[in-house]
Amino acid sequence: MYEIKWSGYNWIPQERWGQVHTNNPTAWYDPSAVIINDTDQLILKTQHNPKYFEEFDLTAIVGAGLVSCTEKFGHGIFEIEAKLPRGKHLWPAFWMWGWDSWPPEIDIFEGYSKNFNYFNLKSQSFTGIYNVQTNIHYIKDGNKMLGGRTKFFGFKDPTKNFIKYKLDWTPEYVKIYYNEVLVREVTDPFILDKLSATKMNVIINNNVVSKHVPNKSSEFVINYFKYTPTLKL
């Protein structure tokens, strides 16, 4: 698989394990849906581009853009500045998972759109008006996770404005920020030990859920990726 150079790192345009997941066969990781434009922005698309996978006897109808960094990351600060894609039933994300196993997984954000945006006025309206969630998976048996959580980070529509999404990961805590607003903090030593047991693989992707309308395209625009390692005292 060829590599893409962007933001000072090498990336591959698919998951390390392959191009399609049988648990979500609506989409496959399509290299043609990954573009770096003239201003060095990374564009991750969703597009109607069916592909048949003989080994699974399935046809994925949506080509989805995904990049997986070839670097093995330890503790530090991870940041992107991005504008989320517009469209129904999209699933963009900035996340990481272990090089040695899954879990652990840290989801800096997962966005879930319904009617072309991420606006949400249901039960979580007092804690987050946009359906952009953090999550952490830490034990495989029973898939123990903290659960998706939204939190208010301002009134800027993330499909019309560039938002900074940042993870500060150390042995003592995990802190996640949206536009410098702290939206989640984890200090449980057991969970932190699970997260620190392996180096992490950073992934940025634009995906869809099964209800997606396949003939519509979208673009997830990322200005940069930045990593600052934790200084060892």
Contact residues for 47 (Cβ-Cβ < 8 A; gap 6+) = 30, 32, 33, 62, 63, 217
List the one residue out of 163, 162, 200, 203 whose CA is nearest residue 180. Answer: 163
Q: What pLDDT sits at residue 187?
A: 96
DSSP one-letter string for the chain = ---EEETTEEEESSBTTBS--TTSTTEEE-GGGEEE-TT--EEEEEEEEEEEETTTTEEEEEEE-EEEE-S-B-SEEEEEEEEPPPSTTEEEEEEEEESSSS--EEEEEEE--SSSS-B--STTTTT-SB-EEEEEEEETTTTEE---B-----S--TTTS-EEEEEEE-SS-EEEEETTEEEEEE--HHHHHHHTTS-EEEEEEEEE-TT--TT--EEEEEEEEEEEEPPP-
Residue 37 neighbours by CB distance under 10 Å: 9
Structure tokens at 47: 């597009």
Token pair 């123990």: residue = 144
Ordered by start, the domain boundaries in the chain are 4-229
Q: What pLDDT sits at residue 19?
A: 97
Q: What pLDDT sits at residue 145?
A: 79
Handedness of CA 196, 200, 202, 203 (dihedral sign): negative
In terms of residues, how long is the chain? 233
- Which fold, 4-229? Jelly Rolls (2.60.120)
List the one residue out of 231, 100, 224 whose CA is nearest residue 166. Answer: 224
Q: What pLDDT sits at residue 198?
A: 95
- Dihedral angle computed from the Cα positions of residues 152, 86, 77 and 96, in that order, rounded to the nearest 10 degrees: 110
Contact residues for 227 (Cβ-Cβ < 8 A; gap 6+) = 9, 71, 73, 76, 77, 78, 79, 202
Q: What pLDDT sits at residue 93?
A: 98
- Specify the pTM: 0.94
pLDDT along the chain (233 residues), means of 10: 94 97 93 98 97 96 97 98 95 97 95 85 64 91 78 88 97 96 94 95 95 84 97 64
